Structures are given as structure tokens and as C-alpha cells.
Structure 1
């Protein structure tokens, strides 16, 4: 039975109070499935799309563990959380600080992009939870500035992205350094790919696999629809029109390739729409600047690729627009999860060209509901919508014909005999006489 409230999950009253202060009332699917298993002390290999409350799914059991087993004297970190990017580390730290209000637990971050000795407070005083990026943490470990021996729980967030970014060796080194730990939780946006499972086998011990799709109730908060586009020019016209609507207060526009990011930013600028962007090869300072601009409403449009936007949590996104269709249905779910967060409602729009139609059908099958078609009067498509591909079930007559044909073919099949078998048929076998 799935937990209906956080009280059902046997969490401390102070945690429930802090969740209610954030207007978080009921656990999401990933939280309801993960928290009981994590509280039992088992290793977890977990997957859930962005925006489904994955961070709280590991933060709540981690904090509960510290409250259940308080330390007797100050010491080094007991919970270590690894993330692929500085932005994600800062977001998790903010969430952890709000969650641990009035608990006397301390939270610290160790990331790149910060002056080396600015982390000195992490080493000089008691810390309970440290959220870190792998590179900078490893540097401190090698210089014996970070004590791994007290780590009881190691949590890896966005593990698939860590692998994509080439951090697998760093993570395995940190895993070896924290070998006294009692529990490891590994989370990923998706559990696809042999590489991730091989990596998980080396890090985890008899893990429980949790693969949580958002519930229909969670998805209902997102209004989903699509517009048909004739070609790229029509698509740009649709996007420009949509972004100029008053209800589109803050949006993320997704594209597939980083080359398209720069093109789209230029096209929007020409249409009088200011935007910022995120793409894979950006330096940290530029990434920070882009996130700051969209977060503080300097601009209200962010253009991004899937890889670049991973791990970014921006408040109050009202619309997610799929300018380029996602590669797969689960990527679609990750994208649209950027809106309708923290109990709010949101809108997800997809601009669909003829060649995207099959993918649209796959997405509808995956989310088990149809996505509504909408049109704009002055921008109606000129081309006809492609007919949906449906596989016809064979009739009873066709089935009987196929069965009869198969039977005939089986009869006609002859056993293939080798020439030498035919040649020697009926001849007595020669006795073998050994030469003396």
C-alpha cells in the first residue's frame, strides 16, 4: 500500500512540520517508494523523472537517520551527497537547510567555482551533511583535508550524468575512501544502459531497484498539448507567437542540439524576445549567469539542450515548450517535469512536424493518455496531418489461411541428405583393420 501522508512514512514531527511550511503535503511516487526502503538501511538503485521530488526522496531518510541516531560528540560528515554540477549541489543544500530547520544539524557544500580555502569551515567544525561535486572533493581527500571515515551514508544524485561527464573513476575512488559506510543510494533520471548497471554493481550492495514514474495525479497538474508545424519557418512563427502570450510568464524551450540553441536565441532576438541559454560546452561562470537571469526574471525565456538543463531547478516555470521533439518518451517526461513543481500547475507544449508524428504516438502510449491538438487561427498548418500508424489485427479467415500455409510448408520440407550418405546407402560397413 502506497503511503498517503508523510506521517504514514513514520517521519519525525519536526520534518513533517518543515515540509508543511514549504506547502509539501503528500509524498510523490518516488518518495513513497524510496523512503521506507531507505529507512530499513538497504542500498537503493532508484530512477525517476525530473520534477518528481527525487531530492526529498533521499534527503528525508538521510535526515531521519541523523535524528534517530544522534552523535555524542562533534565530528566529520556522516552523510555525503555527490552531484555532477555545482548548481545541483547548491539546490540540494538549500532544500536540506529548509528541511533541517530547528534540528541543530549542519549542512555544508564543497564545489568547484569557489576559492579553495573558502571551504575551510567544513574541516574546522562539526558537519552532519556535506553536498559535493566529485572533482573538488577528491582534491581535498587526496590532500587529507576531508575525513571520509565517519561517512555512514553515500548518496549519488544524477549518476547517469556523472557517467556522461566522465566522472565514474572519481566516484569509484570516493566510494573506496568511504568504504566504512553502512548504506549507498544511487539515483538516476533513467536506468537504461549497461554502463550504468555495471557502475551500480561496483558501488552498491544487493540494491533494491526502484523505478518510479510520476502518478496520473502528479501529471494532471501539467496541461499537455501540441501544435502541428509544416516546417522550421512555421515552427519559429508558432514559438514566437506562443512566447508573446501574457500567460507565458517564464518558460524553458527545449532543443535537441547545441547548434540549434544559438540559432534559436538569434531568431528570438530578431522577433523582439530576449532569452538566455544553456548548452553543454558552457563555462561555469556563463552557466551561473544564465540561471541567475532566468531566476531573477531579467529574462523570461531559457533555451536549453537536455544535457545542459539536467539538474537545474528553476522556480515558477509556467511553460515548457518542446521546440524539437525529445529523442524518447522518458526524455519527454523529464522535460515537462520542469513545470508544475511544488504543487503548482503548468503547461507543456510540443511543436510537431510530420516526422515527429510516430514519436508523438509513442509518448501518448507511454503516458497512457492522449495529448490534445491545438491550433492558432492565423498560423494554421497548410499540410495535412499524417494518418496515425495502426497495426490491423488479422481476421479469423486470414489466421486460418496462415495456419494452412504453414502446415503445407512443413510437409514440403525435406530432410537434407549429404551426397556421401546417399552414395553409401545399403552398403555394408567396412571393418577397420589395423596394420601390424
Structure 2
């Protein structure tokens, strides 16, 4: 089916043509006609199936059919679980809606607090937001959600996993009643929890399920190495020397391991960076830009920190730690082989995490080709990494009695000692009287 067959507003069709879209994907073909009839939609679709364009096109068409000349309160709201996903949706919205004349404002934490607040005060048509920062503005009275005509909840299952359900319910109760707005919900899985949300806050939603023929992309070459935990880093260096890669994402299961692995790569001459939730947003965006531009070759993170990151040029994904959630395996390796390109997914199964392998293979529907590495696959000479210990205040701990640092940081004080001799209080034990 072609987009020209949908009889969309001319401004929306011009945006579609400018983005180079011609034929609809399965999720677009099923969801857009329903949304154009102003029906609520609950759709199951994986990342990379065109769901973002599906809800943006539906949203623009609805708002264009009843375009208002002057408005300050937002007319549409798109909720997403991560800052990176908000940025990506905003970018797509700017492209598809470039001829519609809508004011589109991303709202997310960690950056531009006052700038976003001023934009809300000036008036916007479409909000694209993470729940936390949006609730902050709502409670301050900086924005009202009482005029929302259409709501989109993207990656609903991830919102449950990341603990956003209470925030989500708070926002939904600030909106007009479900029979006075249109709601579109997109999720990788329409689980019982997601459908409970649909039944409670949607108006007889039409359920759509677009199941891919293969859970993992065909262009991804998968391989798994059985290796002990102590030898994983040596194997990683050996594989990187045999197969040089310039755009690699490495996944681990804990933030502490992510920090340690990043440090080990850096001291051994690799251009690596850490992406974690507590890094300031400006720095996160700078790291991602450097990764996309090739100034950083290795990006290390956990599943939570790396959700919503879409970089078309990723050639390799390395599961340094095998994920404990089988769905996270699909999510991780989906960072490569994007936009029709080929990619490679390498996984390490150590003695602790190998027990999750059977569940992962059952979920993806095939066995991952496994290899027991030979001695030549390891790099036995590399620099050791010694992490700098941090004090309670985040500074490197100094030795007691050391002189002040050049930057003026105060030295640690010695505990005060009592003076020798008799005290002015009770008599000492030597006094026999």
C-alpha cells in the first residue's frame, strides 16, 4: 500500500515525500487507517518496524483536519521512557511535520530546564516528553494538559520495566477523559500489564499485533563464546585485534562493571566511553554525537542506560555479559544491522551467566552458534587498570596528613588528641589517693 492511497492532508504528504517514504510497513498499514478514523489503537510492534512514523503521520493528519490558528496549550502529547528516544522522535517529527507549521517541543530532564519552561509559556502544539520532567512542569503550573486531543504512549512495556507506571497514571489523570481524546499505545509486547493500562485509559482500543517472521534480524551474524569470567577481557582484546571494529556497543549487566570495562579499554588505547543514567544530559548527548561521528569507537553501557539509542553505523554489538532477561538480548543486538545494513553480535557466556542461554535461545527460536576459543584467540599482554578510589564526596581520597592539593582542596584533618598529663576532670588511674 502506498501513502498516496491514504488521502492525507497535502502538508502531511509533502513531509512524507521529503523523508523519502513511499510504501507502508505492516504496522503502518494496519494502524494508520484506524487512527485516521479516530479510533484508539493498541499496537504491538518491534523497534525498527516504522511505528514512529505510524503515530506521527496519524497525529499530524488529525491535527491538520482541525487546525487552530492560535493556541498556547498543547494539543497532542507523546510519552517515551528515555531522553534519547524523545530526541529521536522529535527529530522524526520535525522531518515529517516540516510543512504542517506545528510547534513541537521535546521535554526531558538533565538539560535546558528554563529554556523548556519558556517554550511552554510561549505555547506549543505537540509535546514529546519523558514522564518525570513533564510532571515537574505540570505541578508548577507551567503547562496544562487539559486541551490534549491525542495521546501517544511509546514503548509502554519499557515504561513498566523502568518503573514509570505511577508517573504514567498521574499524567493520564490530568488529561481529558478517554472518550474526549484519541489514544495510541505502541509496545514491543502487549502483556497483561500493558493491556490493563489500555482497558483503563483507552476507549475500546483496536488491538494490532505485528509479529515479525524472525525475532532477530536476518542481517545479524550471531556468535557465542564460552569463556571463564576471568578471561573475558583477554578474549575481547584478542577478537578486536583479529577483527578491527570502529563502531561497537558493549553491554554489561551492572553500572559498576560498565565503569570498570570502560576504564580497561581506555588504558589499553581504545577510544571508549561510558553511557550511564547519572551522566548529565549535555555530556550524554556529546558522547553520543562523538560516537556517531566516529571520534569514539566503543560505547559501553547497561540495558537501562542504552535504551533509545539509535546509531545506524553500529557494526558490532558485544554482550560482554550475557543478559539475564531474554528480551534484552534481542533489544541489544538490534542496535546493529539497522537500515538494511549487516552487523555482527558477539556474546560471552561465562560460568555464572551461561544458565540464561537456554531461555534466550528458546525466545529467539534458534540456537546461537557457539565456539570454545583457542589460545590464539586471547590477548595475553595488556595493561592493568586500577580504578581511582573515590571519597564520600566524590574526590580521590588523600592520605591523612598530606599537604593541600594545588586546586585548594582541604586536607583531611587528624582527630584531636587529648593533652598528656592529668586532666581537669576525674583523677587518672595512677593517682592512688
What is the TM-score of this pair, normalised by structure 2? 0.74
Between 1:58-67 and 1:154-163, the stretch displaced more is 154-163
CA distance in 2, matches of 1:200, 1:163: 13
Instruction: Confirm or deny: 8 A CA contact 1:229 1:235 kept in the other structure.
Output: no
Offset at residue 367 of structure 1 (A): 3.5
| Alignment map for 1:205-216 (pairs within 5 Å) | 205-216=203-214
| Alignment map for 1:172-321 (pairs within 5 Å) | 172-180=169-177, 181-192=180-191, 195-216=193-214, 219-220=217-218, 222-244=219-241, 248-321=245-318
CA distance change for structure 1 residues 242 and 22 in 2, over 3 Å: closer, same or farther?
farther
Gaps of 5+ in 1: 382-436
Provide the residue aligned with 2:114 in structure 1: 116
Provide the residue aligned with 1:394 in structure 2: none
| Alignment map for 1:356-435 (pairs within 5 Å) | 359-373=356-370, 379=376
Provide the residue aligned with 2:149 in structure 1: 152
Offset at residue 354 of structure 1 (A): 6.4
CA distance change for structure 1 residues 258 and 218 in 2, over 3 Å: closer, same or farther?
closer
Offset at residue 174 of structure 1 (A): 2.2
Provide the residue aligned with 2:55 in structure 1: 58
CA distance change for structure 1 residues 358 and 317 in 2, over 3 Å: closer, same or farther?
same
SS at match of 2:318: strand
Offset at residue 339 of structure 1 (A): 1.9
Gaps of 5+ in 2: 379-433
Between 1:151-160 and 1:357-366, the stretch displaced more is 357-366
Provide the residue aligned with 1:420 in structure 2: none
CA distance in 1, matches of 2:270, 2:302: 19
Q: Deviations over 1:183-207 (max 9, x none)?
A: 1122334444x55444444322322
Instruction: Confirm or deny: 8 A CA contact 1:230 1:353 kept in the other structure.
Output: yes
CA distance in 2, matches of 1:243, 1:336: 18
Instruction: Confirm or deny: 8 A CA contact 1:23 1:342 kept in the other structure.
Output: no
CA distance change for structure 1 residues 65 and 25 in 2, over 3 Å: closer, same or farther?
same
CA distance in 2, matches of 1:378, 1:23: 49
1:31 and 2:28 matched: yes
CA distance in 1, matches of 2:46, 2:166: 25
Instruction: Confirm or deny: 8 A CA contact 2:273 2:296 kept in the other structure.
Output: yes
CA distance change for structure 1 residues 277 and 50 in 2, over 3 Å: closer, same or farther?
farther
Higher helix share: 1
Q: Deviations over 1:57-85 (max 9, x none)?
A: 32121112223333355453221112233
SS at match of 2:93: helix
What is the TM-score of this pair, normalised by structure 1? 0.74
CA distance in 1, matches of 2:165, 2:325: 25
Provide the residue aligned with 1:408 in structure 2: none
CA distance in 2, matches of 1:203, 1:196: 11
Provide the residue aligned with 1:325 in structure 2: 322
SS at match of 1:338: coil
Offset at residue 23 of structure 1 (A): 4.5
CA distance change for structure 1 residues 374 and 7 in 2, over 3 Å: closer, same or farther?
farther
Q: Deviations over 1:220-246 (max 9, x none)?
A: 2x3222132231244323322344466
Instruction: Confirm or deny: 8 A CA contact 1:278 1:308 kept in the other structure.
Output: yes
CA distance change for structure 1 residues 188 and 282 in 2, over 3 Å: closer, same or farther?
farther
Instruction: Confirm or deny: 8 A CA contact 2:227 2:348 kept in the other structure.
Output: no
CA distance in 1, matches of 2:116, 2:157: 29
CA distance in 1, matches of 2:335, 2:199: 30
Q: Deviations over 1:108-135 (max 9, x none)?
A: 223332132543233324x321212323
CA distance in 2, matches of 1:271, 1:162: 37
Offset at residue 311 of structure 1 (A): 1.9
CA distance in 2, matches of 1:119, 1:165: 25
Provide the residue aligned with 2:99 in structure 1: 102
Offset at residue 179 of structure 1 (A): 1.3
**Bigger Rg, which one:** 1
Provide the residue aligned with 1:342 in structure 2: 339
CA distance change for structure 1 residues 97 and 116 in 2, over 3 Å: closer, same or farther?
same
